């Protein structure tokens, strides 16, 4: 174990080996690893961003849904209101129509009644004359007594 | 198990702990001009193999879904990156972190050679014609000291680069006791001790652990050569030590890497 030239040779070999590592081994490994680290960091950041935008979108969705629901409810309530209005209107119209029909029917009935009364009056006067003729047993001049009979019929 | 050709335990241990030496006569005379061929060749093979494999993955690294191999490499990458990031406050990607990765992987691989069964591997090396071949480079003090020396030079280089020549010299003479002229010698002595002790403790810690681990494997091997009970207990204890060694191998690589990072960040930050 005496010191000799070996140690100088080993030192030179050592120097060459270090130079080789510094020059050719370390840089590509460092580059690859740092690049991958950056890629991973970028990927994570992108994922985070995506998550954030997803959250925003979900929030927006919920807002829109709420708005739509509200609008829908509004429309429904308006429609209900309109429907009840229409029903009310229809009722009024129907009532009026009914009243009108009833009124016209009443007037028609009145007319009919009057007409029947007229007819009855005429027939009654004829009957009365015939009865009187039979009772009196004597001919009565229709022409002379016509005025009196008409007056009688009117009183009936 | 000890080879029958060994005549004594010391020969066995000595054989396994001696390096395959190549005398570099063209560089000059003396015992210093020797190269431990086994340490150097194993270290270079392991370094090229491990960093080359990581490079093959890094070259085609995709930022998308990683393959399992890439995920494994990235696991090591982020482990080192985290450790360095905790200690070093500056642009670690330009030098300190890749250097830490190199140190950790390389030292781990060299330490892990200790897991190979020493006598079986000796047979294998002998088949290749290598009769003295120590497979664990980090159990050779030259390797660990070479690495520590490299870190030491980097420490000085970054100290001067970050603080400037003047700032660095100022720190050597004016820290830790203050800038008064009277404490300059004491400051200088302290810093000298620090600069000497850093590579020593850095390298000897790793070397001591790996060397001791190898010696214990050898002693257990010797025991196994003594008979049936030796084989049984030697095997059980050898397995236990190997399992414990998994911890030591990784821990020492980790400590060596952490110390490297600490020294380099101290050079950047100053007292």
Residue B106 and residue A14: Cβ atoms within 8 Å?
A: yes
Angle, CA of B14, B136 and B127, to the nearest 5° = 75
Q: How far apart are CA B171 and CA B192, in angstroms?
A: 12
Residues of B in contact with A3 (CB under 8 A): 32, 141-142, 145
Each residue of B65-74: pLDDT tens digit? 889 999 999 9
CA-CA-CA-CA torsion sign (B91, B94, B100, B101): positive
* Residue A44 distance to chain B (closest CA, Å): 15
Containing H/E element for A107? helix A26-136
* Res. A134 pLDDT band, cuts 50 70 90: confident
Contact A17 B140 (CB under 8 A): no
- The 3-state DSSP class for residue B36 equals strand
Domain-located, residue B176: yes
Chain B positions touching A26 (Cβ under 8 A) are 58, 93, 97-98, 101
User: Are B43 and A24 an interchain contact pair (Cβ–Cβ within 8 Å)?
Assistant: no
> Which residue of chain B is at minimal alpha-carbon distance from A22?
B98
Q: pTM of the full predicted structure?
A: 0.75
B33·A3 Cβ contact <8 A: no
Percent of residues, chain B, with pLDDT higher than 70: 97
Per residue in B17-34, pLDDT tens? 888 888 887 777 777 888
CB contact under 8 A, B150 and A14: yes
Confirm whether B1 is domain-assigned: no
Distance from CA of A46 to the nearest CA of B (A): 17
Condensed to tens digits (0 to 9), the pLDDT of residues B73-86 reads 999 999 999 999 99
Structural domain boundaries enclosing B195: 9-269
In-domain check, residue B80: yes
Characterize B141-171 residue by residue with b for buried, 16 or more Cβ atoms within 10 angstroms of its Cβ, and e for exposed.
bbbbbbbbbbbbebbeebbeeebeeeebeeb
Tell me whether residue B132 is in a domain.
Answer: yes
Which one of A14, A22, A26 has the shortest CB-CB distance to B147? A14
Q: Is A18 on the interface with B (CB under 8 A)?
A: yes
pLDDT of A20-66, one tens digit each?
999 999 999 999 999 999 999 999 999 999 999 999 999 999 999 99
Q: Check pLDDT > 50 for residue B2.
A: no
Number of domain units in chain B: 1
All residues of chain A having their beta carbon less than 8 Å from the beta carbon of residue B99 are 18, 21-22
In a domain, B2, yes or no: no
Q: How many CB atoms lie within 10 A of CB B240?
A: 11
Q: What is the ipTM of this complex?
A: 0.87
Residue B4 domain flag: no
CB-count burial class (<10 Å; 0-12, 13-18, 19+) for A56: exposed
The pair of three-digit structure tokens given for residue B34, joined into one six-digit string: 């020797």
- The answer to whether A20 faces chain B, any CB pair under 8 Å, is yes
Banded model confidence at residue B216, pLDDT cuts 50, 70, 90 = very high
Residue B126 forms part of a structural domain: yes
């Amino acid at each position: 174990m005496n010191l000799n030239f070996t140690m100088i040779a080993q030192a030179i070999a050592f120097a060459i080996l270090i130079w080789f590592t510094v020059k050719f081994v370390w840089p590509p490994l460092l580059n690859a690893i740092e690049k991958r680290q950056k890629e991973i960091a970028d990927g994570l950041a992108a994922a985070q961003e995506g998550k954030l935008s997803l959250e925003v979108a979900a929030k927006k969705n919920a807002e829109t849904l709420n708005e739509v629901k509200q609008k829908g409810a509004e429309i429904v309530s308006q429609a209900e209101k309109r429907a009840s209005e229409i029903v009310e209107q229809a009722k009024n119209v129907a009532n009026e129509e009914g009243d009108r029909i009833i009124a016209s029917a009443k007037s028609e009935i009145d007319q009919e009644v009057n007409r029947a009364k007229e007819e009855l009056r005429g027939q009654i006067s004829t009957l009365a004359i015939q009865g009187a003729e039979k009772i009196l047993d004597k001919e009565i001049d229709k022409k002379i007594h016509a005025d009196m009979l008409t007056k009688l019929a009117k009183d009936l | 198990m000890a080879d029958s050709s060994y005549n004594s335990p010391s020969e066995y241990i000595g054989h396994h702990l001696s390096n395959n030496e190549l005398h570099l006569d063209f560089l000059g005379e003396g015992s210093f001009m020797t190269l431990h061929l086994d340490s150097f060749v194993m270290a270079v093979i392991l370094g090229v193999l491990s960093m080359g494999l990581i490079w093959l993955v890094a070259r085609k690294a995709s930022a998308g879904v990683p393959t399992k191999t890439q995920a494994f490499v990235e696991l090591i990458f982020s482990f080192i990156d985290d450790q360095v990031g905790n200690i070093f406050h500056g642009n670690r990607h330009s030098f300190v972190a890749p250097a830490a990765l190199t140190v950790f992987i390389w030292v781990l691989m060299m330490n892990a050679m200790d897991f190979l069964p020493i006598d079986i591997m000796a047979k294998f090396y002998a088949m290749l014609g290598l009769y003295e071949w120590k497979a664990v480079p980090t159990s050779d003090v030259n390797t660990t000291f070479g690495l520590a020396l490299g870190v030491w030079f980097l420490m000085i280089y970054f100290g001067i680069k970050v603080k400037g020549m003047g700032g660095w010299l100022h720190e050597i003479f004016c820290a830790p006791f203050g800038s008064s002229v009277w404490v300059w010698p004491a400051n200088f002595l302290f810093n000298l001790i620090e600069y000497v002790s850093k590579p020593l403790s850095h390298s000897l810690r790793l070397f001591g652990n790996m060397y001791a681990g190898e010696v214990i494997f050898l002693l257990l091997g010797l025991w196994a050569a003594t008979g049936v009970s030796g084989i049984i207990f030697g095997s059980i204890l050898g397995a236990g030590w190997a399992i414990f060694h998994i911890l030591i191998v990784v821990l020492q690589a980790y400590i060596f890497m952490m110390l490297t990072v600490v020294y380099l960040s101290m050079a950047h930050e100053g007292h």
